[in-house]
Amino acid sequence: MEFTAKDIAGLLGGTIDGNPDIKVNRLARIEDGEPEGLSFLANPKYYPYIYSTRSSIVLVQSDFEPEQPLSCTLIRVDDPYTAFAKLLEIYDSMRKAKTGVSALSSIAKSAKMGTNQYIGEFVVICDNAVLGDNVKIFPHCYIGDNVTIGSDTTLYPGVIIYYDCSIGRNCTIHGGAVIGADGFGFAPQSDNNYKKVAQIGNVIIEDNVEIGANTTIDRATIGSTIIRRGVKLDNLIQVAHNVEIGENTVIAAQSGIAGSAKVGKNCMIGGHVAIVGHISIADDVKIGGKSGIAHSITKPGIVILGSPALEISKFRRVIAIFNNLDKLFYRIGDLEKTVKQLQADKISVEEKI
């Protein structure tokens, strides 16, 4: 896709210093700029790059005054960072503006398909699936029996959605994610073997949810695993059977939530966090990376950290002590020597008496 400075200024409501007809076809960081590239300048520490960048167009603050000659065309805007973010959003929406159904896809006759859809190569859509309008399914995705997908949702390559699951409107599911695989349910037997417990529930993902690449969300044993509206899950996250994640909660990569745990709304959970099963986490809780959550958190809005996790003020005190354990060890050793010496001296005095 190619745009002129005039096109971009029109989209952003900016003014042009330089050639209005110069064209760009890529986005680039200002320090790595190339001809026909578009960059932005917002952070003062990057100001020197404006004089050496090879980018053809640079977005700058409306009151920016160069101190040296420039080789690039400037587009002046109120907030370069926000303007660049708007361009990224426009570029992304145009890049995803695909329509049509590939002849190499397989769609069951009983499936109900909306309008203005994109169905890529080797997509399989099974019996009684229902897809809304403007749904985009990239190549090599699998949509199981009775799955529903709301309008304006995008599935990137390799997404697998098992039978009976429900995906809301305006969701994004990235490549390799698996929705609705069996929960990890096995009953121990007297002969030390394990009998699989049938997982007959489903997964419900509400509107405006984003799920990262290779994240897995298991179906419920009975009932539903539920991801509420607005939730954002990073890559490589495991959500077990019958878990419920509240509205607008965000979870970073490599975290795992065990079965039947309930996470509140508006929570922020760092990377590599482990949450045990059958506990509840209150609303607005923040959990630091690599924490281990072994019990319910009932106080809304607290910040916790560590494994086992503690409220952050207590965790800091504990860490302060931990960091001085070697000194405390030697002090205790010195005290023991002193006590032994005092005891020996006392015995010696008593013997003389």
Per-residue pLDDT, 309: 83
- Over residues 226-255, the mean pLDDT reads 98
* Residue 339: Cβ-neighbour burial (10 angstroms; 0-12, 13-18, 19+): exposed
pLDDT tens track for 301-325: 999 998 888 887 888 888 777 788 8
Per-residue pLDDT, 317: 82
- Over residues 17-24, the mean pLDDT reads 96
pLDDT tens track for 84-119: 999 888 887 777 778 899 999 999 999 999 999 999
Q: Which two tokens stand for residue 229?
A: 């509206």
Per-residue pLDDT, 262: 98
Per-residue pLDDT, 313: 80
* pTM metric for this prediction: 0.81
Domain boundaries, the chain: 3-95, 100-314, 323-353
Per-residue pLDDT, 353: 65
pLDDT tens track for 332-345: 888 988 888 888 87
Give percent of the chain above pLDDT 90: 81
Give all strands of the β-sheet with 250-251 in edge-to-edge order.
100-101, 118-119, 136-137, 154-155, 172-173, 210-211, 232-233, 250-251, 268-269, 286-287, 303-305, 310-311
Predicted confidence band at 329 (pLDDT cuts at 50, 70, 90)? confident
Predicted confidence band at 352 (pLDDT cuts at 50, 70, 90)? low
Architecture of the structural domain at 100-314: 3 Solenoid (2.160)
Residues 347, 348, 349, 352, CA torsion sign: positive
Angle in degrees, 0-180, between the axes of helices 312-322 and 325-352, rounded to the nearest 10: 50
Active site residues: 241
Per-residue pLDDT, 311: 85
Intrachain domains 3-95 and 100-314 with the same fold? no
Residues 241, 242, 248, 251, CA torsion sign: negative
Q: Across all residues in the chain, what is the average pLDDT?
A: 94
CA proximity to 168, closest of 229, 211, 224, 125: 229
The three-state secondary structure class of 35 is: coil
Cα–Cα distance between 250 and 217 in angstroms, integer?
15
pLDDT of residue 236 exceeding 70, the answer is: yes
Per-residue pLDDT, 10: 95
Predicted confidence band at 24 (pLDDT cuts at 50, 70, 90)? very high
pLDDT of residue 50 exceeding 80, the answer is: yes
- Tell me, rounded to whole angstroms, the distance of Cα 288 from its chain centroid: 15
CATH homologous superfamily for the domain 3-95: MurE/MurF, N-terminal domain (3.40.1390.10)
pLDDT tens track for 172-229: 999 999 999 999 999 999 999 999 999 999 999 999 999 999 999 999 999 999 999 9
